[in-house]
Structure 1
C-alpha cells in the first residue's frame, strides 16, 4: 500500500518542542533576580542559578505560565511583564522558552520560596562568576546588558 502525504508526515504540532517561560526581573539598581535551583536528579539544570519560571501546562500560553510560575515558586506578582523573545533549551528541558522582562523592587529575602534553594539579586557584572545555564546567560545579556540604559 502506498503512503499518502498525510501518512508520511507527522502533524506540525507534534514536532514542536514543549513550551516554557522564564522571567528576567530587574530592580531599581538594575540587578537581576536569580533563583538557585534544587540540586536533585530529574530536573533541568540542577544546582544552577537560573530565572524563575517553568513549563506550560496543557492549553496554557507562556504568558499565563510565567504568571502562575512566579506565584507558585515565590509568591511573586509582577504586573509589568513583557515578552521579549524565545530560545530553545536544547541542553536542558528541551523546551522552547519564552523570556519575559519585568521590574520588581522588593526584598527577595522576604519572598516565600516554594521551590529551589535561594533567591538573590545580582548586578550584571557578577553573572559571569555564577553557574548559569548558557541559554539563560545569553538571554539575560540579550535582554539587559546588551541594551542601553
Structure 2
C-alpha cells in the first residue's frame, strides 16, 4: 500500500497596498511606526496591509484604507503583484487610486504620519525596496 507523505504547503501570505495620487501627481505615503515587531519599521510606505484568511486583495485594500486612515479612494484599479522578499515575504498586490483630500485631516490609526510627495522627491526617502519598485513601475507606465 502506498502512503502519501507529501504535506500540503501553507498558502503564501498575501497583502495589498495602494498607490494613491492627487490631481497634482503627488503620491500619498505613510510613515510606519518604529517598532521592532513590524516589517519595515520607520520606513515610508504605501497604505495597505495583509489579507485576512479567505480575503482577496481587492477587499483587503478597501478594508485597510478605511482601518488605517478612514479613507475611501475613487477609481481603485488593480495593477500588479510584487513579492516582499526582504521583509514580510508576502505577495503584495498593488492598486492605484485617486484622492484629492487633505492628508493631515485623516484619522491615522497606524503609523506616524501621512504625507503627499512629488515623485521627484521620493529618492531621499527611506522606502522598502519592493514598494519603491512598485512605485517606479507605476510611474513609468503613466502617460507623460
- TM-score, length-scaled by structure 2: 0.94
Equivalent residue runs for 1:7-86 within 5 Å: 7-8=5-6, 10-11=7-8, 14-86=9-81
Q: Distance in 1 between matches of 2:10 and 2:85?
A: 14
Contact 1:85 1:99 in 2 (8 A): yes
Gaps spanning 5+ residues in structure 1: where?
Answer: none
Gaps spanning 5+ residues in structure 2: where?
Answer: none
Residue 130 of structure 2 is matched in structure 1 by 135
Q: Distance in 2 between matches of 1:30 and 1:103?
A: 9
SS at match of 1:119: strand
Deviation at 1:138, TM superposition (A): 0.8
Moved over 2 A (4+): 1-4, 145-149
Which of 47, 67, 89 is the matching residue for 1:94? 89
RMSD over equivalenced CA pairs, Å: 1.4
Which of 101, 105, 110 is the matching residue for 2:105? 110
SS at match of 2:72: coil
Deviation at 1:147, TM superposition (A): 2.8
SS at match of 2:37: coil
Deviation at 1:145, TM superposition (A): 3.9
Residue 117 of structure 2 is matched in structure 1 by 122
Work out the number of aligned pairs and report it.
144
